[in-house]
A and B are shown apart, each in its own frame.
Chain A
Amino acid sequence: MSNKTVVMYGATWCSYCRALKKKLDSIGISYQYKDVDDPGIRAEMNAKTENNQTIPVLFVGTDYWINPGQEILDAQFSNNYTDEDEQKGEKTLHDVIMIGAGPTSLAAAVYTSREDIETLIFEKGVIGGLAAITDKIDNYPGFEEGIEGLQLAEKLQKQAERFGAKIELGEVQSLKKEGDYINLQTTSGEMTAKSILIGTGSEWKKINIPGEKEFYGRGVHNCATCDGPFYRDKKLVVVGGGNSSAQEALFLTKFAKHIDILIRKDKWRASDVLIREIKDNDKITVHFNTTADEIIGGEVDGMTKVTKVIGTKNDKKIDFITDGIFVFIGLRPVTEYLKGSGVKVDDKGFVITDKKLKTNIEGIFCAGDVRSGATMQIASAVGEGASAALSIREYLGALK
């Protein structure tokens, strides 16, 4: 940036203005702040911006932007960013660190960052969590035609970032409360926070049968949206009788020519809508009272591949000739990094909270799929995220 004067027009009640002000402060440039609640200043802004009625407005010399995004700030002020700033940034005490950028934390971050609570989210996998790797979401309110998981994830991310939340690609490895604050070990170094939101959701359970490890990623899979396209016009086995299994099997029929679904129990644990769709799909055969016991493979066309799944149906051995197996037998909460933190979990490993989504440790909150009692839906995950954010605000207010 040259020596152009920087002026920002805003108001105290405007959250975008607070977010922009915070960004300008963190860049460390000098600028003049003008409050449009003063009628004279409002008239001045209107005159300089062709009667624009929206704030914030940022002037750099005679150029101006209405509610400028990060790209504009980067383009205007990147010379002002120094390594020292970045290092200083890393060492600062964070208001809240959220672990996992699934729907839970992204929703919570909309609330916290919009309230000027400085928010950092850690994500070790996909921003958007399990929702991002789901093909289509039909029951999230507000999208009457349904929405692709990846698209919803992008919207949630943009909304959180719009108010200033930051997402760090990395993993939280452990955490411990010391004094008033919580220290975290992460792949991006040591961090300290006044409060924590645990939003690490869940991941697929392994089936633990012979062949699973050997053929993992070469015929044994957990992610239909990732690996489904490898099975165009092929045969597949899907294991599991819940909603996720039903939904993923339906998605896989876009590629596979036939799918055998193996369900251990004598009925589905899925919603009627999905069961009906499966019944109507002539590419799918459902096998109840059936387990997958062993995965067999070998060399096919110069590649190591799965060739069959040996199962048991109604107590009799049965072979399923197949090109691959997708396993969706249920999810388990992700809490390994909480070992040594003292945060209490229930007998299945889900984090225990009270009604305000507080864990047993002051300053550590939990919401979404990883929480004991959660309903495992995106709508409830974002709802819990919002509630947790309000509890966090209350906690931070009392801490000051």
Chain B
Amino acid sequence: MKKITVYTTNTCGYCKMVKKWLDSKGVKYNVINLDDHPEKQKEIYEKSGALTVPVTLIEKEDKTEEVVIGFNLSRLASVV
């Protein structure tokens, strides 16, 4: 099973779209909200090299990771 984590903030519209899209595909995921967990900022940076949300982290069965920055439909569709 792939493990999916979405990094978000309370006010971010694109984050909502990523979650909506994952919901529409029936995919389960964890959410890390930076407004509640500011200490996770460093983690986002380490995974994505960026300071922006949404960031979606897909950990595959073979332990490799894919990172999608922003609400990028075609990238999400190809890795989820």
- B-binding residues in A (CB < 8 A): 124-128, 132-133, 135, 148-150, 153, 169-171, 187, 217-219, 221, 223, 225-230, 232, 301-305, 324
Contact = CB atoms under 8 A, between A and B. Distances in A.
B50 interface: yes
Nearest to A125: B71
Contacts of A187: 73-74
A170 B77 CA distance: 11
B26 interface: no
Interface string B19-45: 011001000000000110010011001
Nearest to B70: A217
Interface string B36-68: 001001100100011111100000000000000
Contacts of A230: 34, 41, 51-52
Given A187-B74, A218-B49, A232-B38, A226 B12 contact: yes
19 contacts: A125-B14, A125-B17, A126-B13, A126-B14, A149-B13, A150-B16, A153-B13, A217-B52, A218-B51, A221-B52, A223-B52, A225-B9, A225-B12, A226-B14, A229-B9, A230-B51, A230-B52, A301-B42, A302-B42
Nearest to A170: B73
B80 interface: no
Given A127-B17, A230-B34, A217 B51 contact: yes
Contacts of A229: 9-11, 34-35, 38, 53
Contacts of B53: 226-227, 229
B40 to A, nearest CB: 11
B34 A126 contact: no
B73 to A, nearest CB: 6
Contacts of B4: none
Given A149-B13, A150-B13, A227 B71 contact: no
B15 interface: yes
B19 to A, nearest CB: 12
A226 B51 contact: no
Highest count of chain A CB atoms <10 Å: which of B12, B15, B24, B35: B12
A384 to B, nearest CB: 22
A301 B74 CA distance: 33
A223 B35 CA distance: 16
What is the size category of the interface that chain B forms with chain A?
20 to 34
A221 to B, nearest CB: 7
Contacts of B50: 217-218
Given A227-B52, A232-B38, A303-B45, A169 B13 contact: no
B17 A226 contact: no
A311 B38 CA distance: 31
A226 B45 contact: no
A180 B54 CA distance: 42
A223 to B, nearest CB: 7
Highest count of chain B CB atoms <10 Å: which of A149, A219, A232, A303: A303
A169 B52 contact: no
Nearest to A154: B16
A133 B51 CA distance: 17
Given A226-B54, A227-B52, 17 more contacts: A124-B73, A126-B17, A127-B20, A132-B13, A133-B14, A171-B73, A217-B69, A218-B49, A221-B52, A223-B14, A223-B52, A225-B9, A225-B13, A227-B53, A229-B11, A232-B38, A303-B42
Nearest to A135: B11
Contacts of A127: 17, 20
A169 B73 contact: yes
Nearest to B42: A303
Contacts of B49: 218, 304
Contacts of A124: 73
Return the 4 tightest CB-CB contacts between A and B, nearest first. Answer: A225-B11, A217-B50, A126-B13, A226-B12
Contacts of A304: 49
A267 B60 CA distance: 53
A133 B13 contact: yes
A27 B13 CA distance: 32
Contacts of B54: 226
Contacts of B15: 226
Contacts of A149: 13
B11 A228 contact: yes
B18 to A, nearest CB: 10
A185 to B, nearest CB: 14
